[in-house]
């Protein structure tokens, strides 16, 4: 009975682990020993990372992209039955017990009082739905490597065993990036439109050729320093219609989490070299997966090489459909994570304007 | 034993109720029977309200306020010991059981694995810390008034008894405003600076004379349609230093929630007439209170007259200290609530740029 | 978008609602107007109900059933992936952030410190897993009936609209029964053994003939005042093996909640007449259902006629397999709900001894 | 900003840590190196501990203590404002959004429907209020000791680093004891009555002389194998009256958690030698503390020497007032923790019968 939780919490992630063990092949450039990834170019004590690539000049230029006065909000709806990585929770309820949450409070001398409603949420609030992976989410675990102290390492070599804490991590928490916020050029790479499909196939890896073809088709220049670069795969079409009846919703959720199209290592390496401030997509995990077909060599490649090594954060489960319809490929991207002290990520609903 | 919860949950709000019952005096203009506040000017079915005052032209003009390329994020930090209205909860923990939350996941052929951390939060997430009161938060309760069906009425006469639901309200939830988002001119009214104080006195009501003096001192024009107008009172100085030791923190939290300076009815009426899209402050409840001195006539006046009657939402517990230091009185304000389906509010960390 | 939660939270209960509307036929004796069910025989103010049927003499006699010194605990395991009525949550995590939850705390002068672990749970704690339905769970809703004030009525005519409260109901909460507790004779009715099956068919209604045949086969007398009567159907065999792999678990959970065998109205009426103190079963909802086949006339019959009308509470998702194997048909049943003030139910793990 | 959580979550436990560091003196017999405390006498793989001291003969004898047919439930009420060790949470709400949690569900052809209420709880459910410390709660942390692998060790040398898991510990979880349950003789040691006080002084350590004087005054024999031994100090009188107004409640809660009377090392050693199955008290932490006076040498002595070393669990925040009033010093104690898989403890409301 004692070891049964292992089975019960077997999840996508656990499946990945199994597959990874089987696969066993090395990925070129993946080995963090090959390069020294700290101290950060922002300093040995830095806890905010690539958001610092955004300069005042970049901000002024980004604001000037707002010509039509149009906006779109890029978050997906959060609701109790939305797709979740197995093991995570999102539960919203409205406290009341058959009454308003607060009140009635008297409005003197009137037949009219004041009452108020609240909502109560329990969730891995920075890791469910539309969510931003902060610098306290992914780690490289090192075991028995020469010259290393064993442990789990965040961005800038902050070690979990040194900064872990039950009520919020002591370093690299979300609040450090949230002090600054993103106000910069956004660049849409609309691969679903390029390929003329509702959604890319599960496991499809977006290549440099795709990336360059999309830039060309869209008539926009390559990413430059401080940009937020967003990939549209159409994968969130499995989630989007939240009037879907429960049985179909359950099927769509299962399909949604069974894999996804995603960004290949070569594209992540390119964007890292361009010094972007953030990457994002309309998928739950950024990289391409098709778990039924086995473990990809590129597993979590971008998480490790962008976020852990370079402090370039990653925004998941975005909705770029309005941008696509409007052919708004360049826009002002503006958003900040919540100042959740010691958290690993943040929910969000960024505003794009053009 | 049965009626003991009454006592236990006795809170600021309950105290208000008691005081209100004692006070008994009417407030001019407060009686919603005096005027017909529905259908909304945005239509009988509207669920989004005054965010719709923001036009494309307004957005373009607001973007042009970004001249220096400076930004500030206006949220306060969220942490387990921050001040809360009594009865509410904010509890963040980091799941792990002595290990990372997820992983290790193998990186093929290496001594380097991948691990991940999550955070788990339980909170009235739209009603704690820096939080935006959506249109599903305040209600006017009507009992025994001629021509009314008894009940609790939100903006645009949506009745709780018709739209209530245990897992999210069926109408006027946060998602409706979050589909649109705020991208507009922000206007700071720095009353603390005007008066030359760290924070205004508890219970101090900001008058029209104060409002006009601040505009003049700051060299900015009166609010115009679609603006977000933010009042700085300095009250959040009681919260801000979150390195405060626990005992002092407990004292500061008690003082923070025992009352606050706030915006007077005449100023709210003026801003309603100017058709602003949102009001905000660095206080927990917008209106002026000093509970030890009794019940103010203006209790919840702005909540009722701006939000319930006009769909003008209200942002609480903001931090405008950087704007004040930088004398950034006019700026691009950009933010959207989370698309929390059926929720009453949203957490937030708006980005101001100038 | 506004009415989508209706669809999303469509659940077993919502399906029942739809079916009920279609069915439309009346159930004899079901109409609470036919009989006056208050004040309770325990007094007009009573909030504890049939637990008061247990007398000191009954307790002494029940203790004398302990002859072999054997015991069984009758709860099922609670784990994150256990079957849940749709819409409910059970999420346990272990706070730590890669470290113990508390500590290290120094043990003076030693290489040995002290550390501690906690668990954090979010759940409808009285309504998930093995759970006891208290008197604040089921209600009869009355609309437009002559001589009634509209509303939702608990046991002893306590009206939700009068006793509702967001942080715990003001009356008939779990604490009232928990002050007393159950210490009485337990009676197992092992219908699965009687029929020689692992589990009864979904929708099977246990009849008086079954009840009497079981008593005879087991060699025990009919229920008497104050007894706790437990029905074993074998339905929890779908849940029990919690080493079940996730995919099979998902299937078993779906089957588990798609219906169940249960107790027929005639048996509940008989037990009510015998003045038992509690009924229980190894099913999630007591009464027989097969939702694919339509709405049963007996829907929630026992909940309404035992609990609301008579204060006889109901224990769900128990595990009587050890009792069955040991042929322990009569035993000392001992348990009390938690003193969860204002709650609707309680988790539990009763101890049976014989 | 990054290290501020340290300050914020500074708690009783953190204070202890500070004091411990200052104190620095060794406690005789405290050093686990002095004795080999594994494998458990119940086997190297045992995960249940001293509950196994209870034999069938013991159970039969315990049942025979029920002569009057009286019972008492020994739990305290759980409510949102009850005293908590700093950093922990208890939040109960009633989902509804102004309506019942479930329903209405139609009762065919009637003006009478069915509706249901739930409660939603977020809490360290096994570590708040009346709570049982299971074998997965306390650990001895070993750092740099010869012959040890560094780490945190539970009962029977189960090492956190091996059995930790974010969704429930893989070993020594609550479910292992909950499979068995406690059904045994209970022994009350009423020290508050012995001393003739409402409550013992904060920091008072109950000595062997006290223990023996209480046995004599009560006319009962010393503890024997399998007993549950409960100490009444009166400390819970600070908690008990939950109609206490909020301000007094806040003061009482502060006093309650600022220290407590408790059981001295010599008494714990004596009870360990008597092979009791569980110890309990009406305090939050068992051992004597007065934090304002400094760190006691006996800090967590019983937790370490009873639970970690011997598998004797510990029940906190019990209420023995009825037992005291009734002079019920010997009784049948019956209770089992919930089968919370992988949890560190359990809430409870044991039934005592005599």
CA-based nearest distance A183→chain B, Å: 8
Structure tokens at D238: 């600070």
pLDDT tens figures, A115-161: 999 999 999 999 999 999 999 999 999 888 888 888 999 999 999 99
Of C278, C230, C266, nearest to C49 (Cα)?
A: C278
Picking from B80, B89, B165, the nearest residue to D8 by CB comes out as: B80
User: Interface partners of D (3+ CB pairs, < 8 Å)?
Assistant: A, B, C
Cβ contact (<8 Å) for A5 and D170?
yes
Cβ contact (<8 Å) for B87 and C167?
yes
pLDDT tens figures, A341-351: 999 999 999 99
Cα(B159)–Cα(B151) distance, rounded to whole angstroms? 7
Task: Supply the Cα-derived Rg of chain A in whole angstroms.
Answer: 21
Average pLDDT over residues B85-90: 92
Mutate to test the interface with D, among B75, B86, B91, B171 (most CBs of D within 10 A): B91
**Is B4 near chain D, with CB under 8 Å?**
yes
Residue B3 in this model has a pLDDT that exceeds 50: no
Characterize the bridge pairing of strands A182-190 and A330-335.
Answer: antiparallel
**Is D243 near chain B, with CB under 8 Å?**
yes
**Is B83 near chain A, with CB under 8 Å?**
no
**Is A318 near chain B, with CB under 8 Å?**
no
**Is D5 near chain A, with CB under 8 Å?**
yes
Average pLDDT over residues D307-334: 98
When pLDDT is cut at 50, 70 and 90, the band that residue D31 belongs to is: low
Cβ contact (<8 Å) for B297 and A123?
no
8 A C-beta contact, residue D332 and residue C60: no
8 A C-beta contact, residue D346 and residue D134: yes
Residue D11 in this model has a pLDDT that exceeds 50: no
Answer with the residue of higher pLDDT: D141 or B228.
B228
Cα(A318)–Cα(D261) distance, rounded to whole angstroms? 56
**Is D97 near chain B, with CB under 8 Å?**
yes
CA-based nearest distance D98→chain B, Å: 6
Residue B15 in this model has a pLDDT that exceeds 70: no
> Over the range C101-136, which residues count as b (16 or more CB within 10 Å of their CB) and which as e?
bbbbbbbbebbbbbbbbbbbbbbbbbbbbbbbbbbb
User: Interface partners of B (3+ CB pairs, < 8 Å)?
Assistant: A, C, D
User: Interface partners of A (3+ CB pairs, < 8 Å)?
Assistant: B, C, D
Coil vs helix vs strand at C257:
helix
Cβ contact (<8 Å) for C166 and A11?
no
Q: Can you give the three-state secondary structure of chain B, one letter per residue?
A: CCCHHHHHCCCHHHHHHHHHHHHCCCCCCCCHHHCCCCCECCECCCCCHHHHHCCHHHHHHHHCCCCCCCEEECCCCECCCCCCCCCCCEEEECECCCCCCEEEECCCCCCEEEEECCCEEEECCCCCCCEEECCCCEEEEECCCCCCCCEEECHHHCEHHHHCCCCCCCCCCCHHHHCCCEEEEEEEEEHHHHHCCCCCCCCCEECHHHHHHHHHHHCCCCCCCCCEEEEECCHHHHCCCCCCCHHHHHHHHHHHHCEECEECHHHHHHHHHCCCCEEEECCCCCCCEEHHHCCCCCCCHHHHHHHHHHCCEEEECCCCHHHHHCCCCEEEEEECCCCECCCCEEECCCEEEC
Cα(D144)–Cα(A325) distance, rounded to whole angstroms? 62
Cα(C326)–Cα(C320) distance, rounded to whole angstroms? 10
Mutate to test the interface with C, among B95, B160, B162 (most CBs of C within 10 A): B95
CA-based nearest distance C305→chain A, Å: 22
Cα(C203)–Cα(C196) distance, rounded to whole angstroms? 17
Cβ contact (<8 Å) for A120 and D5?
no
* ipTM of the complex model: 0.92
Q: Find the length of chain C.
A: 354
Cα(D68)–Cα(A12) distance, rounded to whole angstroms? 58
Mutate to test the interface with D, among B81, B84, B136 (most CBs of D within 10 A): B81
Concatenate the DSSP letters of all residues of C195-210 into one string.
HT-SSPPTTPEEPHHH
Picking from B108, B340, B348, the nearest residue to A26 by CB comes out as: B108
Cβ contact (<8 Å) for C59 and D66?
yes
Cα(C138)–Cα(C287) distance, rounded to whole angstroms? 14
Residue of B nearest to A108 (CA): B24
Structure tokens at A77: 């709806």
Question: With a CB-CB cutoff of 8 Å, which residues 100-119 of chain C face chain D?
Answer: 100, 102-119
Cα(C153)–Cα(C163) distance, rounded to whole angstroms? 10
Residue C92 gets the label, from left (phi > 0), alpha (psi -120 to 50) or beta, of beta
**Is B10 near chain D, with CB under 8 Å?**
yes
What residues of chain C lie within 8 A of the CB of D13, using their CB? Answer: 102-103, 105, 116
pLDDT tens figures, A42-94: 999 999 999 999 999 999 999 999 999 999 999 999 999 999 998 899 999 99
8 A C-beta contact, residue D2 and residue A47: yes
What residues of chain C lie within 8 A of the CB of B343, using their CB? Answer: none
Cβ contact (<8 Å) for B56 and A69?
yes
Residue of C nearest to A121 (CA): C122
The overall average pLDDT reported for chain B is: 89
Structure tokens at D109: 């052809």
**Is B158 near chain D, with CB under 8 Å?**
no
Cβ contact (<8 Å) for D119 and C343?
yes
Characterize the bridge pairing of strands B228-232 and B182-190.
Answer: parallel
8 A C-beta contact, residue C272 and residue C278: no
Cβ contact (<8 Å) for A105 and B13?
yes
pLDDT score for C298 = 77
pLDDT tens figures, D39-52: 999 999 999 999 99
Cβ contact (<8 Å) for B139 and A117?
yes
**Is C166 near chain A, with CB under 8 Å?**
yes
Coil vs helix vs strand at C239:
helix
What residues of chain A lie within 8 A of the CB of C9, using their CB? Answer: 80-81
Mutate to test the interface with D, among B7, B8, B136 (most CBs of D within 10 A): B8
Residue A111 in this model has a pLDDT that exceeds 80: no
**Tens of pLDDT, residue by residue, chain C (354 residues):** 333 333 323 334 433 433 333 333 334 445 554 467 889 999 999 999 999 999 999 999 999 999 999 999 999 999 999 999 988 999 999 999 889 999 887 665 567 788 999 999 999 999 999 999 999 999 999 888 888 888 999 999 999 999 999 999 999 999 999 999 999 999 999 999 999 999 999 999 999 999 999 999 999 999 999 999 999 999 999 998 778 888 899 899 999 999 999 999 999 999 999 999 999 999 999 999 998 987 777 788 999 999 999 999 999 999 999 999 999 999 999 999 999 999 999 999 999 999
Structure tokens at D248: 């007094």
Q: Can you give the three-state secondary structure of chain D, one letter per residue?
A: CCCHHHHHCCCHHHHHHHHHHHHCCCCCCCCHHHCCCCCECCECCCCCHHHHHCCHHHHHHHHCCCCCCCEEECCCCECCCCCCCCCCCEEEECECCCCCCEEEECCCCCCEEEEECCCEEEECCCCCCCEEECCCCEEEEECCCCCCCCEEECHHHCEHHHHCCCCCCCCCCCHHHHCCCEEEEEEEEEHHHHHCCCCCCCCCEECHHHHHHHHHHHCCCCCCCCCEEEEECCCCHHHHCCCCCHHHHHHHHHHHHCEECEECHHHHHHHHHCCCCEEEECCCCCCCEEHHHCCCCCCCHHHHHHHHHHCCEEEECCCCHHHHHCCCCEEEEEECCCCECCCCEEECCCEEEC
8 A C-beta contact, residue B313 and residue B134: yes
Q: What is the pTM of this model?
A: 0.92
When pLDDT is cut at 50, 70 and 90, the band that residue A331 belongs to is: very high
What residues of chain C lie within 8 A of the CB of D341, using their CB? Answer: 77-79, 92, 242
Concatenate the DSSP letters of all residues of C73-103 into one string.
E-PPPB-TTS---TT--EEEE-B-SSS-SEE
Cβ contact (<8 Å) for C4 and B341?
yes
Residue of A nearest to B63 (CA): A63
Q: Which residues have a Cβ under 8 Å from the Cβ of D18 and sit 6 or more positions away?
A: none
């Amino acid at each position: 009975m004692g070891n049964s939780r292992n089975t019960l919490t077997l999840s996508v992630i656990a499946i990945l682990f199994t597959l990874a063990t089987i696969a066993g092949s090395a990925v070129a450039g993946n080995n963090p020993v090959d390069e020294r990834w700290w101290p950060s170019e922002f300093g040995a004590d830095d806890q905010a990372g690539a958001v610092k690539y955004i300069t005042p000049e970049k901000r002024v230029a980004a604001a000037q992209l707002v010509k039509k006065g149009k906006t779109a909000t890029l978050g997906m709806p959060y609701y109790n039955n939305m797709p979740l990585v197995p093991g995570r929770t999102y539960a919203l309820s409205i406290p009341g017990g058959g009454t308003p949450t607060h009140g009635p409070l008297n409005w003197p001398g009137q037949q009219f009082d004041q009452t108020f409603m609240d909502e109560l949420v329990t969730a891995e609030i920075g890791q469910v739905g539309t969510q931003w992976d902060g610098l306290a989410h992914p780690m490289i675990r090192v075991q028995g490597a020469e010259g290393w102290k064993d442990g789990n390492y965040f961005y800038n070599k902050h070690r979990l065993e040194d900064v872990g804490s039950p009520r919020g991590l002591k370093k690299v928490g979300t609040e450090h990036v949230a002090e600054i916020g993103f106000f910069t050029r956004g660049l849409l790479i609309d691969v679903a439109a390029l390929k003329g499909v509702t959604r890319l196939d599960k496991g499809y890896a977006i290549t440099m050729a795709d990336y360059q073809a999309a830039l060309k088709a869209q008539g926009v220049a390559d990413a430059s320093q401080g940009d937020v670069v967003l990939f549209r795969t159409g994968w969130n079409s499995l989630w989007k219609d939240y009037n879907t009846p429960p049985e179909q919703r359950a099927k769509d959720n299962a399909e949604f989490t069974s894999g996804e199209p995603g960004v290949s290592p070569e594209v992540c390496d390119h964007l890292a070299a361009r010094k972007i401030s953030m990457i994002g997509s309309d998928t739950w995990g950024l990289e391409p997966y098709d778990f039924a077909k086995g473990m990809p060599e590129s597993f979590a490649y971008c998480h490790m090489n962008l976020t852990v090594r370079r402090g370039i954060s990653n925004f998941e489960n975005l909705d770029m459909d309005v941008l696509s319809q409007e052919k708004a490929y360049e826009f002002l991207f503006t958003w900040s994570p919540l100042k959740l002290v010691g958290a690993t990520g943040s929910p969000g609903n960024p505003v794009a304007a053009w």
